[in-house]
């Protein structure tokens, strides 16, 4: 059985979702010691960030405005990096058929990463916007979600598509 699963992993097609199918965690694609979490924190801070030490690898503080609440957060330990389109959600809508490299790109794509409050990211979990919405910024969140879904050619269910269209139509009116 292990050899079957290993073979499926090599082909990029696991039967059930595993976080490891999207890589070992945050990637350091440019080799500068800052992983995707640190890169997202640096890029999205509205003030200069402070690093843990001279290596400038780990961000400890900055100024982030949560897209979920508008709240200002200054301590990076109070932040989760949210996958706008959750990895497990993407898995069941097409990512399970992607090559490993594409899944890793998706998991570390800056367009899909938002610094948000720990509690909100954890309450969201793997849910799509038809099941969970942030307290504020809902239209922007859903619009970004849809852009990422289209960019990666993910396949929401028909009820999800109807919900997304109706929700965005409500945002326009």
Whether the pLDDT of residue 14 is over 60: the answer is no
- Given a contact cutoff of 8 angstroms between Cβ atoms, the answer to whether 43 and 85 are in contact is no
> Average pLDDT of 13-33?
89
Q: Per-residue pLDDT tens for 36-70?
A: 999 999 999 999 999 999 999 999 999 999 999 99
Note whether 5 and 20 are within 8 A (CB): no
Tell me the C-alpha distance between 31 and 156, whole Å: 34
Binned at pLDDT 50, 70 and 90, residue 98 comes out as very high
Residue among 71, 83, 101, 137 nearest 11 (CA) = 101
Query: What pLDDT digit, counting tens, does each position of 78-97 carry?
Result: 999 999 999 999 999 999 99
Residues 6+ apart with CB under 8 A from 163: 129, 130
């Amino acid at each position: 059985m292990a050899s079957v699963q290993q073979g499926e992993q090599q082909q990029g097609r696991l039967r059930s979702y595993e976080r490891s199918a999207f890589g070992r965690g945050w990637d350091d694609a440019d080799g500068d010691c800052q992983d995707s979490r640190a890169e997202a924190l640096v890029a999205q801070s509205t003030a200069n960030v402070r690093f843990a030490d001279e290596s400038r690898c780990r961000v400890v503080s900055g100024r982030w405005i949560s897209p979920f609440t508008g709240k200002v957060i200054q301590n990076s330990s109070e932040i989760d990096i949210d996958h706008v389109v959750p990895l497990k959600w993407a898995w069941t809508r097409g990512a399970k058929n992607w090559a490993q490299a594409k899944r890793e790109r998706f998991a570390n794509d800056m367009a899909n990463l938002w610094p948000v409050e720990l509690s909100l990211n954890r309450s969201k979990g793997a849910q799509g916007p038809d099941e969970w919405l942030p307290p504020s910024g809902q239209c922007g969140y859903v619009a970004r979600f849809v852009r990422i879904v289209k960019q990666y050619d993910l396949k929401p269910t028909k009820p999800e598509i109807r919900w997304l269209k109706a929700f965005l139509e409500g945002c326009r009116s």
